[in-house]
Structure 1
Amino acid sequence: MSILFESIKVGNFTLPNRIAMPPMCVYKARDYSGLPRCFHRLHYPARSLGGVGFIIVEATAVSPEGCISKNDLGLWSDNQIEAHAKLNYEIKKYTCQTTAIQLGHAGAKGTCGNILSPSGICFSPEYQHPKTLNTQEIYEIITKFKDAAIRAKAANYDIVEIHAAHGYLISEFLSPLTNKRDDEFGGSIDNRMRLLSLIAQEISPIIPFGVRISADDWEVGGNTIEDSKIIAKKCAELGACYISVSAGGVVSKPSLVPELKPMYQADYAKAIKEVVNIPVIGVGLITTKEQGEQMIEGGYCDIVAYGRELLRNPNFALYAAASEGKNEIIDFSYQRAF
Structure 2
Amino acid sequence: MSALFTPLKLRSLEINNRVWMSPMCMYSAAPEGAETGVPTDFHLAHLASRAAGGAGLVMVEATGVRPDGRISPWDLGLWNDRQQEAFARITAAIGSHGAVPAIQLAHAGRKASVDKPWLSDRYVPASAGGWQTVAPSPVAYDGLPVPHELTVEEIQQLVRDFADSARRALAAGFQVAEVHGAHGYLINSFLSPAANHRTDAYGGSFENRLRFALEVVDAVREVWPEHLPVFFRTSATDWLSENPADEREGWTGDDTVCLAKELQARGVDLLDVSTGGMVRDATIPAGPNYQVPFAAQARNQAGIPTAAVGLITDPRQAEEIIASGQAEAIFLGRELLRNPYWPQHAALAVGAEPTWPDQYAYVVRHRRR
Answer yes or no: is 1:223 the counterpart of 2:226.
no
Q: How far off its partner does 1:278 sit?
A: 3.6
Tell me how far apart the structure 2 counterparts of residues 299 and 12 of structure 1 sit (CA, whole Å). 22
Amino acid at match of 2:108: A
Residue 322 of structure 1 aligns with which residue?
A: 348
Q: Identify the match of residue 298 of structure 1 among 324, 336, 351.
A: 324
Map 1:37-56 → 2, pairs under 5 A: 37-56=40-59
Q: How far off its partner does 1:241 sit?
A: 1.2
Answer yes or no: is 1:102 the counterpart of 2:123.
no
Residue 82 of structure 2 aligns with which residue?
A: 79
Residue 126 of structure 2 aligns with which residue?
A: none
Tell me how far apart the structure 2 counterparts of residues 225 and 278 of structure 1 sit (CA, whole Å). 14
Q: How far off its partner does 1:326 sit?
A: 4.2
Tell me how far apart the structure 2 counterparts of residues 334 and 30 of structure 1 sit (CA, whole Å). 33
Tell me how far apart the structure 1 counterparts of residues 231 and 350 of structure 2 sit (CA, whole Å). 31
Answer yes or no: is 1:3 the counterpart of 2:29.
no
1:215-237 CA distance string (max 9 Å, x none): 00111410110111111111111
Say whether the 8 Å CA contact 1:321–1:330 is kept in structure 2.
Answer: no
Amino acid at match of 1:292: A
Q: Does the residue aligned with 2:302 lie in a helix, a strand or coil? A: coil
Answer yes or no: is 1:13 the counterpart of 2:9.
no
Q: How far off its partner does 1:88 sit?
A: 0.5
Answer yes or no: is 1:65 the counterpart of 2:65.
no
1:86-118 CA distance string (max 9 Å, x none): 11011111030x221000101000113120000
Amino acid at match of 1:321: A
Tell me how far apart the structure 1 counterparts of residues 354 and 135 of structure 2 sit (CA, whole Å). 50
1:264-315 CA distance string (max 9 Å, x none): 1111010000133342100110011111011112221110111110011000
Say whether the 8 Å CA contact 2:24–2:61 is kept in structure 1.
Answer: yes
Say whether the 8 Å CA contact 1:18–1:53 is kept in structure 2.
Answer: yes
Q: How far off its partner does 1:328 sit?
A: 5.5
1:163-201 CA distance string (max 9 Å, x none): 000000000000001000000000111110100111111
Q: Does the residue aligned with 1:318 lie in a helix, a strand or coil? A: helix
Q: How far off its partner does 1:36 sit?
A: 0.6
Q: How far off its partner does 1:55 sit?
A: 1.1
**Alpha-carbon spacing, 1:181–1:77, altered in 2? closer, same or farther (3 Å):** same
Amino acid at match of 2:337: L
Answer yes or no: is 1:143 the counterpart of 2:160.
yes
Tell me how far apart the structure 2 counterparts of residues 324 and 115 of structure 1 sit (CA, whole Å). 46
Task: State how many pairs are aligned.
Answer: 334
Tell me how far apart the structure 2 counterparts of residues 205 and 277 of structure 1 sit (CA, whole Å). 22
Identity of aligned residues (%): 39
1:54-113 CA distance string (max 9 Å, x none): 1111000011111100111001223311001111011111030x2210001010001131
The CA RMSD over aligned residues, in Å, is 1.3
Say whether the 8 Å CA contact 2:236–2:273 is kept in structure 1.
Answer: yes
Say whether the 8 Å CA contact 1:10–1:279 is kept in structure 2.
Answer: no
Q: Does the residue aligned with 1:178 lie in a helix, a strand or coil? A: coil
Tell me how far apart the structure 2 counterparts of residues 3 and 209 of structure 1 sit (CA, whole Å). 23
Say whether the 8 Å CA contact 2:29–2:75 is kept in structure 1.
Answer: yes
Q: How far off its partner does 1:11 sit?
A: 2.5
Say whether the 8 Å CA contact 2:298–2:304 is kept in structure 1.
Answer: no
Tell me how far apart the structure 2 counterparts of residues 66 and 153 of structure 1 sit (CA, whole Å). 20
Compare 311-320 and 75-84 and name the one that shifted more: 75-84
Map 1:1-338 → 2, pairs under 5 A: 1-32=1-32, 33-96=36-99, 98-111=100-113, 112-125=130-143, 127-207=144-224, 208-219=229-240, 220-254=248-282, 256-258=283-285, 260-324=286-350, 326-327=352-353, 329-335=355-361, 336-337=363-364
Tell me how far apart the structure 2 counterparts of residues 105 and 325 of structure 1 sit (CA, whole Å). 41
Q: How far off its partner does 1:47 sit?
A: 0.6
Relative to the length of structure 2, the TM-score reads 0.88
Q: How far off its partner does 1:203 sit?
A: 1.0
Q: How far off its partner does 1:151 sit?
A: 0.6
Q: Does the residue aligned with 1:14 lie in a helix, a strand or coil? A: strand
1:27-51 CA distance string (max 9 Å, x none): 1111141101000110000011111
Tell me how far apart the structure 1 counterparts of residues 53 and 31 of structure 2 sit (CA, whole Å). 30
Tell me how far apart the structure 1 counterparts of residues 357 and 214 of structure 2 sit (CA, whole Å). 42
Q: How far off its partner does 1:238 sit?
A: 0.5
